[in-house]
């Protein structure tokens, strides 16, 4: 993307070494200092950064160096960062999640092997019966505890100690610092008490190997549960990535051969058999079938397809075999666009997160100060002695981890946008998701949004003595070459009745009126009332029918044969069956509905009445629709515009939230804040409900993350918490935040 001497690059890259909200703030700060970086949004849940930078001013080596200077690692790809040609292969972030989870399981198993005996022996050593029954001195038991705890500190503890040391070298601190200081103090103090007891004369029971070992184990367990929960939060995307088959049946040299999906070329003819998934997007050239498109649109019912119809890669062929031409492969497919859209949304940052980011940037230093004051207060003021003061300070360090704070927003965004994708709702970014919760007005375009967008024949009037089949056959024969919407409606009605077209002579189009011609020597005229007047044809016998359909907002198409009225077809762009339900649900949610249309007032009134919309603006040009949106906003209302993303572009751009209706192959998501992948207005309702539920989950997460620290730190400072309980509570706080976000996966909307 180039403009004004710049060359902007948009990338999402993994960042290794991040563990909490403080890490997020530090990486963002480091990247934003690099000249040429415009946007740097770090997501703790995905452990990645979304970057926008001017490649004429900086490059990946400079960005990687800045992140490394901050104490972390930016994973720079060796190959192109474009979407893989084979979406069935998992993207890097999901592979890393699985690898991280497996590694944590190994570390937990190894740590438990040593930590459980430490805990058991420590508890038993507090009983007189055990010490009298076991033929060993307390000094010997302490040495055994030291030998058992040391592998825990080395095997699992290095996960915290290594990054803490790296941060210290950069005069920084994060979650790893807190854990390392807490467990390190307990371990090294106990080690000194065991190995050099004669130097410092500590009581033989003044060891805390159990605290050091169990804190590490509980932290690893918490991170493992968190990693597992993160995997579940991205299941929607992984499902899309796995949707396309790896093998395609392609016609080459008049023979069907099996080739890897990534080798399909645009224009290839592909054969699909019953039960198979489509390997690319395209158009059916031979055969017909019903396809399960639920993964794209959220529609549970199969969709009938025949020659000429578009098909989408990853959907399932349920019945017959057919052939289709590949029109889009790899990065150009609908699935690729969806995955890209959802990943960008998951990597974006909601405005509500800014408060958490500000707190996280100073949180760890404040906690370290509180821990120091806790030690000083107990030791110098309380006179409790070194050991109790140290334990209380350790407890403060352990319980005050800002992990939950860092995960509160991004995990909910990840799950919410993923759930939206599974329902056929694509959300552009977290900001759009947050704005949608506050909508007060939803303005609809009429054609193709509330209505089907394709006029159809709804009623027929046949004059006395005339034949309805002949009337439709003659009308369709004249109209078959026309691209006018009314002409297509007439020809479609004839096809539905299996009526064949006839050859026409002396064909003539009368612009603005209709068409005339000759069929089997009989003059035929098809058009509006003005054409009938020009041809001198009496339409009086249809007067009552004409008045009725005019009142319903329908258009009359007259058919005359041999200068006599043969019949009238009522043509209308009918309302979609789901539109009325969607409008009613929006009203229940307290949202006002408005129609903006270029149609006549009479037609607009009829359609609005059928849909249940009370406020109508008709006869509008595209620019005038935008002005109406602006006027609604001037009333102090937050407004969404729902349209097709093309003709309604000015109004969509003006709206606070733009919602585009898409057939699945029309990727209006490039410009809209929200794209509904099916022509069903209930998707608009679902998007708003999803926004409200997601933002409610984020507020719950932030509340509990804040309240947890607000309660936990004072309790630890005043000596009401044991370090092991503090570690368990801290680990569970992160798991609870992620688990709360995961509830969005199953919400019914």
Q: pLDDT tens digits, residue range 578-588?
A: 999 999 999 99
Does the pLDDT value for residue 595 go beyond 90?
yes
**665: confidence class by pLDDT, cuts 50, 70, 90:** very low
The lowest-confidence range among 139-148, 339-348, 714-723 is 339-348
CATH for 245-332, options being 2.70.180.20, 2.115.10.20, 2.70.150.10, 3.90.700.10: 2.70.150.10
Terminal Cα distance for the chain, rounded: 38
pLDDT the model gives residue 90: 40
- Burial zone of 395 (CB within 10 Å; 0-12 exposed, 13-18 middle, 19+ buried): buried
* Beta carbons of 406 and 226 less than 8 angstroms apart: no
pLDDT of 666 above 60: no
Residue 91: the pLDDT is 47
Range 2-82: architecture per CATH? 2-Layer Sandwich (3.30)
Report pLDDT digits (tens) over 487-525. 889 999 999 899 988 988 888 888 778 899 999 899 999
Give the tens place of pLDDT for each residue, 205-240.
567 888 888 888 888 887 887 777 767 666 666 666
| Max mean pLDDT range (40-44, 100-104, 693-697) | 693-697
The arithmetic mean of pLDDT across residues 636-651, rounded, is: 83
pLDDT of residue 106: 92
Using N-to-C axis directions, what is the helix angle for 158-169 and 209-233, rounded to 10°?
90
Would you state the CATH architecture of domain 456-572?
A: 3-Layer(aba) Sandwich (3.40)
Angle between helical axes of 21-32 and 353-376 (0-180°, round to 10): 120
How many Å is the Cα radius of gyration of the chain?
34
Rounded average pLDDT over 349-353: 79
Report, as residue numbers or ranges, the catalytic residues.
445
- Name the pLDDT band for 93 (thresholds 50, 70, 90): low
- 70 touches 27 (CB < 8 A): yes
From CA 524, how far away is CA 47, in angstroms rounded?
70
Please give the CATH topology (third level) of the domain spanning 425-452+576-683: Rossmann fold (3.40.50)
Please, which pLDDT band fits residue 121 given cuts at 50, 70 and 90?
A: confident
**Lowest model confidence (mean pLDDT) among 145-154, 156-165, 281-290, 724-733:** 724-733
Indicate if the alpha-carbon torsion angle 485, 486, 487, 491 is positive or negative: positive
pLDDT in tens, 700-729: 998 988 888 888 999 999 999 888 888 888
pLDDT over 70, % of the chain: 90
pLDDT value of residue 94: 60
Helix (H) or strand (E) holding 99, with range, is helix 92-124
Each domain of the chain, given as residue ranges in start order, spans: 2-82, 94-235+343-413+697-746, 245-332, 425-452+576-683, 456-572
Residue 305 contacts residue 291 (beta carbons within 8 Å): yes
The per-residue pLDDT for range 386-407, each reduced to its tens digit, is: 888 988 998 898 888 777 777 7
Flag whether pLDDT at 79 surpasses 50.
no
Write down the pLDDT at residue 189. 84
pLDDT for 148: 94
| pLDDT-based confidence at residue 95 (cuts at 50, 70, 90) | low
* CA dist., res. 344 & res. 174, Å (int): 27
Identify the pLDDT of residue 462.
94
The mean pLDDT value for 420-427 works out to 87
Q: Measured between alpha carbons, how far is 245 from 87 in angstroms, rounded to an integer?
A: 9
**Any long-range contacts for 90-97 (C-beta under 8 Å, 24+ apart)?**
90/238, 90/241, 90/242, 91/241, 91/339, 91/343, 92/14, 93/14, 93/46, 93/47, 93/48, 93/234, 94/231, 94/234, 94/237, 94/238, 94/241, 96/14, 96/47, 97/227, 97/230, 97/231, 97/234
Tell me the average pLDDT of the chain. 84
């Amino acid at each position: 993307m180039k403009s004004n001497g710049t060359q902007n690059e948009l990338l999402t890259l993994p960042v290794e070494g991040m563990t909490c909200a403080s890490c997020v703030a530090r990486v963002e700060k480091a990247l934003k200092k690099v000249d040429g970086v415009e946007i740097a949004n770090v997501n703790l849940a995905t452990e990645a950064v979304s970057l926008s930078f001017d490649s004429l001013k900086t490059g990946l080596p400079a960005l990687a160096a800045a992140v490394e200077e901050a104490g972390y690692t930016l994973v720079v790809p060796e190959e192109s960062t474009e979407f893989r040609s084979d979406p069935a292969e998992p993207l890097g972030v999901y592979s890393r999640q699985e690898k991280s989870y497996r590694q944590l399981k190994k570390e937990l198993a190894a740590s438990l092997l040593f930590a459980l005996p430490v805990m058991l022996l420590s508890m038993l050593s507090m009983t007189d019966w055990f010490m009298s029954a076991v033929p060993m001195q307390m000094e010997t038991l302490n040495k055994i505890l030291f030998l058992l705890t040391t592998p825990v500190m080395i095997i699992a503890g290095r996960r915290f100690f290594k990054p803490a040391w790296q941060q210290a070298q950069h005069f920084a601190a994060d979650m790893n610092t807190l854990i390392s200081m807490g467990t390190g103090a307990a371990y090294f103090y106990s080690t000194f008490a065991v190995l050099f007891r004669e130097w410092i004369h500590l009581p033989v029971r003044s060891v805390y190997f159990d605290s050091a070992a169990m804190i590490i184990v509980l932290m690893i367990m918490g991170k493992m549960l968190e990693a597992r929960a993160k995997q579940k939060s991205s299941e929607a995307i992984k499902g899309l990535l796995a949707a396309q088959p790896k093998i395609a049946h392609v016609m080459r040299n008049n023979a069907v051969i099996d080739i890897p999906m990534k080798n399909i070329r645009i224009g290839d003819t592909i054969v699909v058999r019953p039960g198979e998934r489509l390997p690319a997007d395209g158009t059916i050239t031979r055969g017909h079938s019903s396809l399960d498109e639920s993964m794209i649109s959220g529609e549970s019912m199969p969709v009938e397809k025949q020659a000429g119809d578009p098909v989408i890669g990853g959907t399932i062929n349920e019945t017959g075999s057919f052939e289709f031409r590949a029109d889009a492969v790899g990065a150009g497919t609908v699935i690729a666009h969806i995955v890209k859209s959802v990943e960008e949304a998951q990597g974006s940052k909601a405005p509500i997160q800014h408060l958490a980011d500000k707190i996280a940037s100073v949180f760890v230093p404040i906690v370290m100060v509180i821990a120091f004051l806790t030690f000083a207060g107990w030791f110098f003021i309380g006179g409790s002695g070194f050991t109790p003061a140290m334990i209380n300070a350790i407890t403060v360090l352990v319980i005050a981890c800002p992990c939950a704070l860092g995960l509160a927003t991004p995990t909910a965004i990840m799950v919410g946008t993923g759930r939206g994708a599974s329902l056929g709702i694509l959300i552009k970014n977290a900001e759009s998701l947050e704005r949608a919760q506050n909508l007060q007005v939803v303005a609809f375009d009429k054609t193709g949004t509330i209505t089907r967008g394709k006029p159809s024949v709804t009623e027929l009037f046949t004059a006395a003595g005339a034949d309805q089949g002949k009337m439709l056959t003659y009308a369709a024969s004249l109209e078959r070459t026309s691209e006018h919407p009314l002409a297509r409606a007439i020809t479609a009605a004839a096809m539905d009745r299996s009526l064949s077209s006839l050859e026409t002579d002396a064909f003539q189009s009368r612009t603005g009126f209709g068409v005339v011609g000759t069929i089997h020597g009989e003059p035929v005229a098809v058009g509006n009332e003005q054409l009938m007047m020009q041809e001198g044809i009496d339409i009086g016998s249809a007067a009552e029918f004409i008045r009725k359909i005019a009142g319903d907002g329908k258009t009359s198409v007259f058919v005359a044969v041999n200068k006599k009225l043969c019949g009238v077809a009522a043509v209308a762009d009918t309302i979609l069956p789901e539109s009325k339900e969607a409008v009613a649900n929006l009203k229940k949610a307290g949202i006002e509905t408005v129609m903006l249309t270029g149609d006549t007032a009479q037609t607009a009134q009829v359609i609005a009445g059928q849909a249940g919309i009370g406020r109508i603006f008709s006869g509008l040009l595209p620019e005038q629709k935008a002005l109406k949106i602006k006027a609604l906003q001037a009333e102090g209302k937050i407004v969404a515009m729902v349209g097709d993303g093309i003709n309604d572009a000015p109004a969509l751009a003006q709206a606070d939230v733009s919602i585009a209706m898409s057939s699945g192959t029309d990727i209006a998501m490039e410009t809209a804040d929200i794209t509904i992948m099916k022509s069903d207005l209930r998707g608009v309702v679902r998007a708003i409900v999803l926004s409200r539920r997601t933002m409610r989950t984020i507020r719950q997460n932030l509340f509990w993350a804040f309240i947890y620290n607000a309660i936990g730190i004072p309790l630890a400072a005043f000596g009401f918490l044991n370090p092991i309980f503090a570690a368990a509570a801290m680990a569970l706080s992160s798991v609870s935040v992620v688990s709360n976000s995961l509830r969005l996966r199953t919400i019914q909307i």
